[in-house]
Protein backbone atom coordinates (compact mmCIF):
# COMPACT_ATOMS: atom_id res chain seq x y z
CA UNK A 1 0.00 0.00 0.00
CA UNK A 2 2.76 2.46 0.87
CA UNK A 3 4.24 2.06 -2.62
CA UNK A 4 1.07 3.61 -4.06
CA UNK A 5 1.39 6.78 -2.00
CA UNK A 6 2.73 10.02 -3.55
CA UNK A 7 6.33 10.87 -2.77
CA UNK A 8 7.03 13.62 -5.27
CA UNK A 9 7.45 16.30 -2.62
CA UNK A 10 9.73 14.04 -0.57
CA UNK A 11 12.04 13.50 -3.54
CA UNK A 12 12.03 17.23 -4.31
CA UNK A 13 13.15 17.91 -0.75
CA UNK A 14 15.86 15.25 -1.00
CA UNK A 15 17.14 16.81 -4.24
CA UNK A 16 17.22 20.22 -2.60
CA UNK A 17 18.97 18.83 0.46
CA UNK A 18 21.61 17.13 -1.70
CA UNK A 19 22.27 20.19 -3.86
CA UNK A 20 21.87 23.04 -1.38
CA UNK A 21 23.11 21.42 1.82
CA UNK A 22 25.42 18.49 1.05
CA UNK A 23 27.09 19.79 -2.09
CA UNK A 24 26.88 23.41 -0.93
CA UNK A 25 26.70 24.94 2.57
CA UNK A 26 23.22 26.42 2.26
CA UNK A 27 19.89 25.88 3.98
CA UNK A 28 17.04 23.51 3.28
CA UNK A 29 14.51 26.10 4.48
CA UNK A 30 15.86 29.60 3.89
CA UNK A 31 17.58 31.21 0.92
CA UNK A 32 20.80 33.01 1.71
CA UNK A 33 21.55 31.18 4.96
CA UNK A 34 24.78 29.24 5.46
CA UNK A 35 23.63 26.34 7.62
CA UNK A 36 25.22 23.06 6.46
CA UNK A 37 28.78 24.22 6.94
CA UNK A 38 31.59 21.96 8.08
CA UNK A 39 31.89 24.00 11.28
CA UNK A 40 28.21 23.79 12.19
CA UNK A 41 28.06 20.07 11.48
CA UNK A 42 31.16 19.37 13.57
CA UNK A 43 29.91 21.47 16.51
CA UNK A 44 26.47 19.94 16.65
CA UNK A 45 27.84 16.42 16.20
CA UNK A 46 30.22 17.04 19.10
CA UNK A 47 27.42 18.38 21.29
CA UNK A 48 25.05 15.51 20.56
CA UNK A 49 27.28 12.48 20.09
CA UNK A 50 30.77 13.42 21.29
CA UNK A 51 29.63 14.80 24.65
CA UNK A 52 25.95 13.86 25.05
CA UNK A 53 23.86 15.24 27.90
CA UNK A 54 22.89 12.60 30.43
CA UNK A 55 19.94 12.52 32.80
CA UNK A 56 16.21 12.10 32.41
CA UNK A 57 15.35 15.32 30.61
CA UNK A 58 13.45 14.96 27.36
CA UNK A 59 15.13 14.89 23.96
CA UNK A 60 13.73 18.36 23.23
CA UNK A 61 15.12 19.85 26.44
CA UNK A 62 18.56 18.39 25.75
CA UNK A 63 18.43 19.34 22.08
CA UNK A 64 17.72 22.97 22.93
CA UNK A 65 20.78 23.11 25.19
CA UNK A 66 22.94 21.38 22.56
CA UNK A 67 22.00 24.02 20.00
CA UNK A 68 23.53 26.68 22.27
CA UNK A 69 21.05 29.42 21.24
CA UNK A 70 23.22 29.81 18.12
CA UNK A 71 21.20 30.66 15.01
CA UNK A 72 23.28 28.48 12.70
CA UNK A 73 23.05 25.47 15.01
CA UNK A 74 19.32 26.00 15.62
CA UNK A 75 18.60 26.06 11.89
CA UNK A 76 20.80 23.01 11.38
CA UNK A 77 18.98 21.25 14.20
CA UNK A 78 15.59 22.01 12.66
CA UNK A 79 16.71 20.91 9.21
CA UNK A 80 18.23 17.65 10.41
CA UNK A 81 14.97 17.01 12.25
CA UNK A 82 13.13 17.60 8.98
CA UNK A 83 15.29 14.97 7.27
CA UNK A 84 14.65 12.65 10.24
CA UNK A 85 10.86 12.93 9.85
CA UNK A 86 10.76 13.35 6.08
CA UNK A 87 10.00 9.80 4.98
CA UNK A 88 8.14 8.52 8.05
CA UNK A 89 4.68 7.20 7.21
CA UNK A 90 1.93 9.64 8.24
CA UNK A 91 0.06 7.08 10.35
CA UNK A 92 3.23 6.66 12.39
CA UNK A 93 3.93 10.38 12.83
CA UNK A 94 1.21 12.70 11.54
CA UNK A 95 1.98 15.66 9.26
CA UNK A 96 0.81 18.02 12.01
CA UNK A 97 3.23 16.46 14.49
CA UNK A 98 6.16 16.64 12.06
CA UNK A 99 5.46 20.31 11.34
CA UNK A 100 4.95 21.20 15.00
CA UNK A 101 8.20 19.60 16.15
CA UNK A 102 10.27 21.26 13.44
CA UNK A 103 8.59 24.59 14.18
CA UNK A 104 9.32 24.20 17.89
CA UNK A 105 13.03 24.08 17.09
CA UNK A 106 12.80 26.91 14.54
CA UNK A 107 11.06 29.08 17.12
CA UNK A 108 14.29 29.13 19.13
CA UNK A 109 15.72 31.24 16.30
CA UNK A 110 12.53 33.26 15.83
CA UNK A 111 11.62 31.41 12.63
CA UNK A 112 8.94 29.04 11.39
CA UNK A 113 8.42 26.71 8.46
CA UNK A 114 6.42 28.35 5.69
CA UNK A 115 3.14 26.52 5.09
CA UNK A 116 3.59 26.87 1.33
CA UNK A 117 7.07 25.34 1.36
CA UNK A 118 8.00 22.05 -0.27
CA UNK A 119 9.08 20.65 3.12
CA UNK A 120 5.65 21.46 4.59
CA UNK A 121 4.00 19.55 1.74
CA UNK A 122 6.45 16.66 1.96
CA UNK A 123 5.49 16.07 5.59
CA UNK A 124 2.06 14.97 4.30
CA UNK A 125 3.68 12.12 2.37
CA UNK A 126 5.41 9.03 3.71
CA UNK A 127 7.44 6.05 2.60
CA UNK A 128 7.94 3.61 5.47
CA UNK A 129 7.43 2.58 9.07
CA UNK A 130 10.94 3.09 10.53
CA UNK A 131 10.60 0.93 13.64
CA UNK A 132 10.23 1.66 17.34
CA UNK A 133 13.91 2.30 18.05
CA UNK A 134 14.01 4.98 15.34
CA UNK A 135 11.23 6.93 17.01
CA UNK A 136 12.52 6.41 20.54
CA UNK A 137 16.10 7.55 19.82
CA UNK A 138 15.99 10.61 17.55
CA UNK A 139 19.33 11.66 18.99
CA UNK A 140 21.10 8.67 17.44
CA UNK A 141 19.37 8.99 14.08
CA UNK A 142 20.03 12.73 13.85
CA UNK A 143 23.57 12.05 15.01
CA UNK A 144 24.01 9.74 12.01
CA UNK A 145 22.90 12.53 9.66
CA UNK A 146 25.37 14.92 11.29
CA UNK A 147 28.22 12.42 11.12
CA UNK A 148 27.51 11.68 7.48
CA UNK A 149 27.39 15.39 6.69
CA UNK A 150 30.53 16.34 8.59
CA UNK A 151 32.58 13.55 7.01
CA UNK A 152 31.26 14.43 3.57
CA UNK A 153 32.24 18.07 4.07
CA UNK A 154 35.81 16.97 4.74
CA UNK A 155 36.01 15.91 1.08
CA UNK A 156 36.68 18.32 -1.83
CA UNK A 157 33.56 19.50 -3.64
CA UNK A 158 34.24 17.38 -6.71
CA UNK A 159 34.70 14.22 -4.67
CA UNK A 160 31.52 14.94 -2.69
CA UNK A 161 29.62 15.11 -5.96
CA UNK A 162 31.12 11.79 -7.12
CA UNK A 163 30.25 10.06 -3.84
CA UNK A 164 26.67 11.29 -3.87
CA UNK A 165 26.17 10.36 -7.53
CA UNK A 166 27.28 6.72 -7.19
CA UNK A 167 24.93 4.59 -5.05
CA UNK A 168 27.51 1.94 -4.12
CA UNK A 169 30.26 4.42 -3.47
CA UNK A 170 27.83 6.31 -1.24
CA UNK A 171 26.98 3.07 0.57
CA UNK A 172 30.65 2.37 1.20
CA UNK A 173 31.22 5.94 2.40
CA UNK A 174 28.37 5.69 4.89
CA UNK A 175 29.54 2.34 6.16
CA UNK A 176 33.04 3.54 7.01
CA UNK A 177 31.57 4.98 10.20
CA UNK A 178 29.61 1.83 11.08
CA UNK A 179 30.28 0.90 14.72
CA UNK A 180 28.59 -2.48 14.42
CA UNK A 181 25.09 -1.20 15.20
CA UNK A 182 23.83 0.01 11.83
CA UNK A 183 21.05 2.52 12.37
CA UNK A 184 17.83 2.76 10.41
CA UNK A 185 18.92 6.19 9.21
CA UNK A 186 21.66 4.57 7.14
CA UNK A 187 19.11 2.54 5.19
CA UNK A 188 16.73 5.49 4.92
CA UNK A 189 19.30 7.95 3.56
CA UNK A 190 20.52 5.44 0.99
CA UNK A 191 16.98 4.85 -0.23
CA UNK A 192 16.13 8.56 -0.31
CA UNK A 193 19.27 9.49 -2.23
CA UNK A 194 19.11 6.47 -4.57
CA UNK A 195 15.61 4.95 -4.55
CA UNK A 196 16.39 2.96 -7.69
CA UNK A 197 19.25 1.09 -6.02
CA UNK A 198 18.19 0.66 -2.39
CA UNK A 199 14.95 -0.85 -1.15
CA UNK A 200 12.36 1.00 0.92
CA UNK A 201 13.37 -0.92 4.05
CA UNK A 202 14.55 0.86 7.18
CA UNK A 203 15.48 -2.11 9.36
CA UNK A 204 18.59 -4.18 8.65
CA UNK A 205 17.28 -7.48 10.09
CA UNK A 206 14.27 -7.21 7.77
CA UNK A 207 16.62 -7.03 4.79
CA UNK A 208 18.51 -10.07 6.04
CA UNK A 209 15.28 -12.03 6.58
CA UNK A 210 14.08 -11.27 3.05
CA UNK A 211 17.47 -12.19 1.59
CA UNK A 212 17.66 -15.49 3.48
CA UNK A 213 14.08 -16.42 2.60
CA UNK A 214 14.71 -16.01 -1.12
CA UNK A 215 18.36 -17.09 -1.15
CA UNK A 216 17.65 -20.02 -3.49
CA UNK A 217 16.49 -17.64 -6.24
CA UNK A 218 19.81 -15.80 -6.63
CA UNK A 219 23.17 -16.97 -7.89
CA UNK A 220 25.22 -15.55 -5.05
CA UNK A 221 23.25 -15.76 -1.81
CA UNK A 222 26.32 -14.70 0.18
CA UNK A 223 26.82 -11.46 -1.74
CA UNK A 224 26.33 -7.92 -0.52
CA UNK A 225 23.01 -7.59 1.30
CA UNK A 226 21.92 -4.33 -0.31
CA UNK A 227 22.82 -5.50 -3.81
Which pLDDT does position 178 carry in this prediction? 58
Which pLDDT does position 218 carry in this prediction? 79
Picking from 227, 130, 126, the residue whose alpha carbon sits closest to that of residue 188 is: 130
pLDDT tens by residue, 163-222: 999 999 999 999 986 554 568 999 999 999 999 999 998 888 888 888 888 888 877 767
User: Any idea what the Cα angle at residue 117 is, between residues 25 and 104, rounded to 5°?
Assistant: 80
Which pLDDT does position 217 carry in this prediction? 86
Asked if the model's pLDDT at residue 5 lies above 70, the reply is no
Q: What is the mean pLDDT of residues 76-104?
A: 97
**Residues 6+ away with beta carbon under 8 Å from 195:** 11
Which pLDDT does position 212 carry in this prediction? 85
Asked if the model's pLDDT at residue 158 lies above 70, the reply is yes
pLDDT tens by residue, 99-133: 999 999 999 999 999 999 999 999 999 998 888 88
Asked if the model's pLDDT at residue 1 lies above 60, the reply is no
Average pLDDT, the chain: 92
pLDDT tens by residue, 14-26: 999 999 999 999 9
Asked if the model's pLDDT at residue 63 lies above 80, the reply is yes
| Number of helices and strands in the chain (H, E) | 12, 0
From CA 135, how far away is CA 142, in angstroms rounded? 11
Which pLDDT does position 177 carry in this prediction? 66
From CA 20, how far away is CA 76, in angstroms rounded? 13
Count how many residues are written for the chain. 227
Amino acid sequence: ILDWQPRTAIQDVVSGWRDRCLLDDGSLFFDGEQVWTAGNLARLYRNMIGAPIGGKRSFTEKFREQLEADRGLVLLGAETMAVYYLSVWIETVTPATKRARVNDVLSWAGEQLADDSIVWRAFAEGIHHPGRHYLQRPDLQIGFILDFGRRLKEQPAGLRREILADPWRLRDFMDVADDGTTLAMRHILLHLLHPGSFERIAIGPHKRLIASTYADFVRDSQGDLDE
